[in-house]
């Protein structure tokens, strides 16, 4: 499971960086979104990969921290998802305004001469 998660994070980071280096603003925005997904997966993996482990301590049972999942990375990722959604929406609005003002969606504001 750890190998699959590591490969997934690597593919997302590689794709995100490749898209960040593209000349169009929409591709840059998608690259930023892929990088944020990779960071979210990385943070989630820091809480250890557990299946069928409770996240809440039961009353009256001796506490063994190794038997429970850590809920803090899950809460951080949930917050990061909401923030990245709002940031992506803001970037898209700025993209549309920039395209309307300049007439192009090139990163530096002008089309390359051919």
What is the pTM for the complete model shown?
Answer: 0.79
User: What is the CA 71 to chain-centroid distance, rounded?
Assistant: 18
User: What pLDDT, on the 0 to 100 scale, is given for residue 17?
Assistant: 97
User: What pLDDT, on the 0 to 100 scale, is given for residue 49?
Assistant: 67
User: What is the CA 9 to chain-centroid distance, rounded?
Assistant: 10
Task: Answer whether 35's CB lies under 8 Å from 16's CB.
Answer: yes
Tell whether 42 is covered by a domain. Answer: yes
* 14-68 pLDDT tens trace: 999 999 999 888 999 999 999 999 999 998 888 776 666 666 777 787 877 776 6
User: What pLDDT, on the 0 to 100 scale, is given for residue 33?
Assistant: 94
**CA-to-CA distance for 114 and 92, rounded, in angstroms?**
28
Range of the domain at 45: 2-49+68-102
User: What pLDDT, on the 0 to 100 scale, is given for residue 36?
Assistant: 94
Tell whether 55 is covered by a domain. Answer: no
Tell whether 30 is covered by a domain. Answer: yes
The residue written with tokens 């309307």 in the block is 100
pLDDT over 70 at 5, yes or no: yes
Looking up residue 26, the CATH number of its domain turns out to be 1.10.287
Supply the angle between the helices 71-102 and 25-45 in degrees, to the nearest 10.
180
Tell whether 23 is covered by a domain. Answer: yes
Tokens coding 84: 């990245």
Q: Which residue has the higher pLDDT, 1 or 15?
A: 15
Please give the mean pLDDT across all residues of the chain.
86
**CA-to-CA distance for 70 and 44, rounded, in angstroms?**
10
Percentage of residues of the chain with pLDDT beyond 70: 89
User: What pLDDT, on the 0 to 100 scale, is given for residue 86?
Assistant: 94
Residue 39 CA: distances (Å) to CA of 76, 80, 88, 100: 11, 9, 15, 32
């Amino acid at each position: 499971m750890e190998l699959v998660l590591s490969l997934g994070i690597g593919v997302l980071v590689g794709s995100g960086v490749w898209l960040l280096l593209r000349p169009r603003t929409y591709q840059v925005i998608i690259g930023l979104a892929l990088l944020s997904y990779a960071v979210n997966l990385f943070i989630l993996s820091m809480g250890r990969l557990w299946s069928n482990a409770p996240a809440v301590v039961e009353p009256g049972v001796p506490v063994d921290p190794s038997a429970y999942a850590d809920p803090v990375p899950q809460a951080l990722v949930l917050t990061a998802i909401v923030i990245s959604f709002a940031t992506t929406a803001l970037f898209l609005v700025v993209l549309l305004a920039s395209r309307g003002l300049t007439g192009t969606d090139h990163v530096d504001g002008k089309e390359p001469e051919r």
